[in-house]
Structure 1
């Protein structure tokens, strides 16, 4: 497996990115609030023409504040890292009374007619260094060049050096703009803000910014790169914004960077390293979080068709942000209610003592056998009710895969996106549940579990193989607004995929002889690790490490018994070997292409590892308000207080099917490691619980309800072997310590290898 893994990493995912075109001057024109639906050939003709000849993308404006208000965007631009504005007194830019960002007047002092001084800059630097977890250095971009010029108060915030000095400053664009913009190699221009809610006012604000942009382009120096960027949001509704680059080598393509890994997407923190790369400057080491942008081909020839794509992505991302919360909230509520309904069924499914045979005089209670064909206990649940609950458990487990597939339908373009998304998801969920319910394997004890796990793993795998387009801005995927991931395997996808792969591995391993079970788990799990960690598929080294740990734990205990020190040592060594391989291969790649693991190890090497740990911890804490946290808690409560009780059935399931117990132990391990190392809180665990807990409850119901369907075997001494079951080693009547549960001598009414119920 490790050889295949190394080969997959050695194979380049794509051609090496071309060197960023060089320029003598770089001008960054900021328009906070500008979105792609504000751009059209009539209202913004200058920007439209610039986009026709240049390269375009959607800009994610994530900063250290939520939402990113205009001053936060300008500070982040100058820092090259997520930052936020503060005057040093603790007051920031977040809306306090109403949805709109406050309009804050930045004091700009002009001791001479050349430059300017920002008295608040020292407080901004101190706040970002001491309070915020990102360790941003406002003014790092200005410090990296000899001279900067700024036009407007917002541009002064980005162009100010850490001690507050702006080299060249004008409050408005002067008549002799050519001379001003040619003074320094790096220029910042504040084109105004587009913040109105009504369409007419927004169009007027965008038109004024476009008119000022026309003057900037007319005065631009020769061989210059001009970047127009919608640097921030202006209210609580976080959106994607405009970014256009026009200059040598930026002709008619998409903009991308190594920090997004997807064509047509750029982060705000990428603008600073892009400017320095275009000027041929070396970015400050360990300061910038982004990577230089580049232009790639593939954009449609007609600009209106090309612009429709980022505008559509903005609508989808905005709708996804509104719908995700209620979708996972409803799912958590549904699974909680379903768990409440399952508890009495589990208790009533317990076979009463009256159906047991008499103790053997020789062997005592160890020789108990079931009486032939006992009638159902009078207090047992109605079979129809049990059947309905089982179907609902299947539907609950398939909810996230159904929501993922639902993003193949453009529901966000509807006037009522939430109802349409709900309708599509319900239809897909009904189809998936029906496919499981009417499958011939459904009557087997492990049949529903195996089918649901296979469907979930296949949905995520197919999405990743085809470019992860369903996860991108998907309700069950990741949002480009948060700046966490733009390609590959997301948090929810990782949880669903890890649970699906390990459950499938456990079901397959249960069908083979015990000595072969670790190999089956290793092979199936290894394929999952390859898909998760490959840089051109899942692109999630941390997720691959978490899944590797889960596969290792599952493999060593798949034959039954406890997790002994020797088994744990072997699993740990295997996990460390794969982790070391991931780390070595990630560090061997260029800095711009490294995953989170490589960046973290690099940070440890240059002494900034503490900041990296602080950011991961802050990210985990921030993720705790996710509805997935509720799913994780609901699942843990149901497992601990119901399924693992003596009447809950899960221990009995583990004793009969040790490979399933091993899979669930591996799933728990992967969920914890993935959440801790990935800085995602309980998001991975919530996705795992949404799939695993309902199926564990269903399987527990099956083993409890089928306990009464036994035939009368001959009473034989414990030393007399029972005929072997096909596909497994001979069994005898001795006690089997399968999963921490001591099984009495009994003949199972189903095949313990494949879970088929014998009539």
Structure 2
């Protein structure tokens, strides 16, 4: 002990075991003050929301012209002059046609439009082509119509679906509606099946038809097939739209939408709004938060807002569309060619599953290769034991673990290159992702500090944080329709941080915090964790960046747990209470601020709490549970299970060395605990199941396994330090350091200082 104290004095640093100076005791409150200020800054960052607005002009009439299957690549200035002209004059966007059905067929799309919520016409599973749109439409009086099947559909959506959709809610919000065609009849019918004004087909001269009611809906026909047959159907829809525009009344808003898919292949569709206040710009909504993207459920509230009518309370799940000014007037320059988001999103859907499945298989193979290395690195009490593994093999496995941890960040960076435009997008993406992974691995491996114990885990975690953080700061362009991001076609998220990005970012941030905390004294370790964690909370929860308040709450909980145990020891009741109070303070503060906003501007936390307070939160909870059930099929679940097994073996098996890592570097144990809390909470509360956990495990687990190998390798080294003699207790009793703690930060007390007695 005396030698350690003298050595610390010579190095100009006071050891942990030395008594604190009087001046240092006087500043003991500084870490706690910094923690409070960081929590306040995180809360302020979450509270700020971007301003939203809708066009100030209202319309006297709204005409919705819908066509199932209509996409942007169907448009052509010669073959579809009317659609092309509308897109040039009006506001445009990509329409996601998600409904309550796994495949949004024409009947589901029209029904969802009229409900303003995710609805389903027929819950039976569809394979291949969607069934023909053929609802039973009765015309007893020759003026309106009746849909006798709608009552059954309304009851089925109320009892079997978790969204609380009420078909006909849009029609009930206006005095009367006009419907032309069977699809329009589904959307314009009231909940009991009545359509106020109905025409089976569009008249050759519809003059005066659209001024009978403030809301008119026209079915332009279903666009199916390919080649010349598809082009003929699009031309017929274009000619019908020309007749609609010729008969539109003054001060009318015309919305053109591709309301559904026509088979089980999901796509993005066309959306155009043209009329008073809707000239130019890209369509968006608070529901997507992404410029140029709109949901099918956003059309109903947009129609009512344009007419100056209030939306029905708690029935619409969509948000009113808004306009982001500034885009090329020609659709060829704004929605087609290299700007064709549907092409990129379709390619992403076809590759993402294969990528994560392959990554799970590769990581499992690497972890199985690590097992014999851990067994051979085990420290034995006797003079003999298994020979150490060849150093070249150990180094090769370390490189493989680095590459495995960098795979998802490399995939994110690969999405910056337009691989989806190539003829073989899957092969091109795989080659680019492998090349980026190889470059990143080489940069880490050949860095001068490679041999330091915590260098690989710290630098790779920092790379993950930088990649996701830079993407969020630039608008999350890499995650949108990216292999390691989220798809606008699926409709679960359109902006901010997705499940994969959240898992990668949180795991990286907390591991970086743990490594940085090892370089400071114990009282300051919670401060380091909270500072890095506060940055992560703002990045995840800010509406300008991650736009994920549920994720921000989960990160807050994880950071509090990590800070509480970052100094070593167990999660005692006082530490747990302190972490709980700090986490609840930030969460409750953010929730209160969210509840004070208008209903249409509230985030997901405010909407859920509002529903909880008025007793209508059941559908929201059921939706989260349903989404989690569907997410269990994700390949990310495999990554989560593989990572959990690898950590369990490393910590609890006789050959594992993870507990040794935690003893030498307790802040890393805090980082792993905080990451676990965050990814589990984010998956449960956000309806993502193990998706967040799988992404976090794909980055963190290889790094912890690598660090475990390194610590075991140090522990197995039986070479006596030069000049060492037997201790005073007899032969074989000596003091020896292990684990490399001195290379990566100050040592810890209570067995964490890396000194053992033999």
TM-score, with structure 1 as normaliser: 0.91
Q: Distance in 1 between matches of 2:357 and 2:743?
A: 45
Go from structure 1 to structure 2 and tell me whether the alpha carbon gap of 1:50 and 1:464 turns closer, same or farther (over 3 Å shift).
same
Matches within 5 A, 1:678-757: 678-709=686-717, 711-712=720-721, 713=724, 736=751, 745-746=756-757
The aligned counterpart of 1:246 is 274
Assess if the C-alpha contact under 8 Å between 1:119 and 1:164 holds in 2. Answer: yes
Summarize deviations over 1:147-184 as a string: whole Å, max 9, x none.
Answer: 01100011101111111000000100124412221111
In the alignment, structure 1 residue 178 sits paired with structure 2 residue 207:
yes
Matches within 5 A, 1:182-193: 182-193=211-222
| SS state at 1:351 partner | coil
Q: Distance in 2 between matches of 1:644 and 1:227?
A: 62
The aligned counterpart of 1:623 is 631
Number of residue pairs matched by the alignment = 712
Go from structure 1 to structure 2 and tell me whether the alpha carbon gap of 1:430 and 1:172 turns closer, same or farther (over 3 Å shift).
same
The aligned counterpart of 1:278 is 306
The aligned counterpart of 2:87 is 51
Q: Distance in 1 between matches of 2:41 and 2:457?
A: 29
Go from structure 1 to structure 2 and tell me whether the alpha carbon gap of 1:140 and 1:672 turns closer, same or farther (over 3 Å shift).
same
The aligned counterpart of 1:640 is 648
Counterpart selection for 1:118 from 147, 150, 155: 147
Note the C-alpha offset of 1:642: 4.4
Cα RMSD, aligned residues only: 2.2
Counterpart selection for 1:552 from 545, 551, 560: 560
Go from structure 1 to structure 2 and tell me whether the alpha carbon gap of 1:609 and 1:310 turns closer, same or farther (over 3 Å shift).
farther
Assess if the C-alpha contact under 8 Å between 1:9 and 1:585 holds in 2. Answer: no
Q: Distance in 1 between matches of 2:558 and 2:400?
A: 28
Q: Distance in 2 between matches of 1:629 and 1:394?
A: 21
The aligned counterpart of 2:254 is 226
Summarize deviations over 1:722-751 as a string: whole Å, max 9, x none.
Answer: 99979977878xx6279xxxx87259xxxx
Summarize deviations over 1:595-653 as a string: whole Å, max 9, x none.
Answer: 22112112213322011100111111111101101111111122223443131111111
Assess if the C-alpha contact under 8 Å between 1:721 and 1:731 holds in 2. Answer: no
Q: Distance in 1 between matches of 2:524 and 2:483?
A: 39
Q: Distance in 2 between matches of 1:722 and 1:704?
A: 14
Counterpart selection for 1:583 from 591, 595, 619: 591
Q: Distance in 1 between matches of 2:725 and 2:608?
A: 64
Q: Distance in 2 between matches of 1:483 and 1:731?
A: 49
Q: Distance in 2 between matches of 1:79 and 1:620?
A: 24
Counterpart selection for 1:354 from 371, 382, 390: 382
In the alignment, structure 1 residue 33 sits paired with structure 2 residue 69:
yes
| SS state at 1:745 partner | strand
Summarize deviations over 1:429-476 as a string: whole Å, max 9, x none.
Answer: 111111111112211111110011000011000000011000011100
In the alignment, structure 1 residue 77 sits paired with structure 2 residue 113:
yes
Q: Distance in 2 between matches of 1:623 and 1:258?
A: 24
In the alignment, structure 1 residue 132 sits paired with structure 2 residue 161:
yes
Counterpart selection for 2:659 from 646, 651, 666: 651
In the alignment, structure 1 residue 299 sits paired with structure 2 residue 327:
yes
Counterpart selection for 1:211 from 239, 246, 254: 239
In the alignment, structure 1 residue 662 sits paired with structure 2 residue 670:
yes
Go from structure 1 to structure 2 and tell me whether the alpha carbon gap of 1:672 and 1:10 turns closer, same or farther (over 3 Å shift).
closer
In the alignment, structure 1 residue 262 sits paired with structure 2 residue 298:
no
In the alignment, structure 1 residue 7 sits paired with structure 2 residue 44:
yes
The aligned counterpart of 1:753 is none
Matches within 5 A, 1:68-467: 68-86=104-122, 92=124, 94-96=125-127, 99-196=128-225, 198-308=226-336, 312-355=340-383, 378-467=386-475
In the alignment, structure 1 residue 515 sits paired with structure 2 residue 518:
no
Note the C-alpha offset of 1:706: 1.3
| SS state at 1:440 partner | coil
Q: Distance in 2 between matches of 1:50 and 1:629?
A: 45
Structure 1: stretches of 5+ with no match in the other structure? 357-376, 748-759
Q: Distance in 1 between matches of 2:272 and 2:665?
A: 58
Q: Distance in 2 between matches of 1:173 and 1:333?
A: 56
Assess if the C-alpha contact under 8 Å between 1:57 and 1:310 holds in 2. Answer: no
Q: Distance in 2 between matches of 1:76 and 1:406?
A: 36
Q: Distance in 2 between matches of 1:217 and 1:176?
A: 11
Go from structure 1 to structure 2 and tell me whether the alpha carbon gap of 1:319 and 1:661 turns closer, same or farther (over 3 Å shift).
same
Q: Distance in 2 between matches of 1:162 and 1:715?
A: 90
Summarize deviations over 1:5-48 as a string: whole Å, max 9, x none.
Answer: 243245453x4424453101111111111111111101211000
TM-score, with structure 2 as normaliser: 0.91
The aligned counterpart of 1:757 is none
Assess if the C-alpha contact under 8 Å between 1:513 and 1:728 holds in 2. Answer: no
Note the C-alpha offset of 1:64: 0.3
Q: Distance in 1 between matches of 2:369 and 2:716?
A: 22
| SS state at 1:214 partner | helix
Assess if the C-alpha contact under 8 Å between 1:722 and 1:731 holds in 2. Answer: no
Q: Distance in 2 between matches of 1:75 and 1:717?
A: 86
Q: Distance in 2 between matches of 1:643 and 1:337?
A: 19
Assess if the C-alpha contact under 8 Å between 1:722 and 1:730 holds in 2. Answer: no
